[in-house]
Chains A and B, each alone.
Chain A
């Protein structure tokens, strides 16, 4: 009897591999590498002004007693232009959005803000990805929700779409 059960073993192995293959085909593809730094305090940084119209951005700005959104973006990043209206909508709802411009030049960034609007209270210039690495960020755009004590509560990888706006507002209200 046990011998007969053993005969089924190769078939079970085959079914397992087949199941994995089907799962790989059906499951939505994601290459995101989420940051393991969520839940940790914002790393210490002090970035100089990235644009001519906004001051620089330092981690000390984040412990002022209210939650913030920190958006990592760049003028050379095409999807970043697509999320600009959503960021404007967030600031209109009273959310403070600070920006970290990744590997950017002042002329390029000024033109980008001129074209797409400027929702940022401050924009720091990270020319060597040092703050991005300290945050566990893998690219642009990314948005981080920081609570009033400076703890990172959430990382959003990729473009913010329309339906992300009310969700983020609700999450920030819950933190107040």
Chain B
């Protein structure tokens, strides 16, 4: 943050210029930033939030993001967990709507197989390579 250094002229300009990704004038949803009274439920909600990707900022989980939509999603998750829904069912509800993109823990499917299998294959290939080298040296 270097805004204190900005020339005096830029400050009024920055105030009238509305950013493209403008946020609304409404306050955050009721449970966006309020922990649930039941600590076990809050723990479940928090754990799920860190696994759900923010759809606006695209590099943060909704637990970290300040965007309106992330706040609304946090509130929705807390409301549903308070109502007794399981974190897995909420996560599935979101995946049905936003696709695997929305979770940092994508379920195994034909589309995500590479994601899970390539590291495993690389480790196996590396192991074979090392074994070959050692064998050759011994021969």
Contact = CB atoms under 8 A, between A and B. Distances in A.
Interface of A: 31, 33-37, 74, 76-79, 102-105, 108, 127-130, 132-136, 138-139
8 contacts: A35-B97, A103-B26, A103-B72, A128-B72, A129-B73, A132-B72, A133-B72, A138-B69
Interface stretch (B5-13, B15-23, B33-41, B126-134): B15-23
Nearest to A36: B99
B104 interface: no
Interface centre among B20, B24, B76 (most CB of A within 10 A): B24
Contacts of A138: 55-56, 69, 98
Contacts, number: 71
A36 B97 contact: yes
B81 interface: no
Nearest to B19: A78
B16 to A, nearest CB: 12
Contacts of B69: 129, 132-133, 138-139
A33 B101 CA distance: 8
B25 A105 contact: yes
B58 interface: yes
A103 B24 contact: yes
Interface string B95-125: 1111101100000000000000000000000
Given A136-B98, A138-B98, 20 more contacts: A35-B98, A36-B95, A36-B96, A37-B96, A74-B24, A78-B18, A78-B22, A79-B20, A102-B24, A103-B72, A105-B25, A105-B26, A108-B25, A127-B26, A128-B29, A128-B72, A128-B75, A129-B73, A132-B72, A135-B97
B103 to A, nearest CB: 12
B68 interface: yes
A78 B20 contact: yes
A23 to B, nearest CB: 17
A107 B76 CA distance: 26
In the complex, which of the residues A33, A35, A128 has the most CB atoms of chain B within 10 Å of its own CB atom? A128
Contact of A31 (B22, B58, B72): B58
Interface string B71-97: 011011000000000000000001111
Contacts of B76: 128-130, 133
A78 B24 CA distance: 11
Contacts of A135: 97
A36 B98 contact: yes
A150 to B, nearest CB: 17
Contacts of B72: 103, 128-130, 132-133
Contacts of A77: 22
A105 B20 CA distance: 19
Nearest to B99: A36
B97 A76 contact: no
